[in-house]
Amino acid sequence: ATYAKKIEKNETKINWAESAKKIIAKINAFHPNPGCWFEIEDERIKIIKAKEIEKTGEVGTIIDNEMTIACSKNAVQILELKKEGKKQMLVREYLRGNKIKIGQKVN
């Protein structure tokens, strides 16, 4: 058996400058705990499920109305998420109560 070091919170934050494939692998690796996250308008959002889409745009921006975020190579379309302090939900449920704009930056 081998020991791994403790996972720090900053390691689980998504870096949109990476490729979509690498980000999806990171989401799957850290699910369910501690989970991968990003910030939009100073709110922390944990990604539960996502898939890679062949679209391009400015890195770290929302590129369509289905919560697809551009990466260095391709894009990540978020399918399920969890807002901080709330329950897990599908993206269409999140979008009903939260407005996003195409071209909006995420951290």
Strands 43-53 and 75-83: antiparallel
Q: Check: CB of residue 52 under 8 Å from CB of residue 107.
A: no
Question: Which residues sit opposite 38 in a β-bridge?
Answer: 45
d(CA 102, CA 87): 25
**Among residues of the chain, what percentage have pLDDT more than 70?**
100
For residue 7, what pLDDT band results from cuts at 50, 70 and 90? confident
Query: What does the pLDDT look like over 50-89, one tens digit per residue?
Result: 999 998 889 989 998 888 999 999 999 999 999 988 999 9
Strands 88-90 and 75-83: antiparallel
Model pLDDT, residue 45: 92
pLDDT above 90: residue 37: yes
Copy the structure tokens of residue 30: 């850290």
Model pLDDT, residue 66: 87
pLDDT above 90: residue 21: yes
Which pTM value belongs to this model?
A: 0.84
Model pLDDT, residue 28: 92
Model pLDDT, residue 25: 93
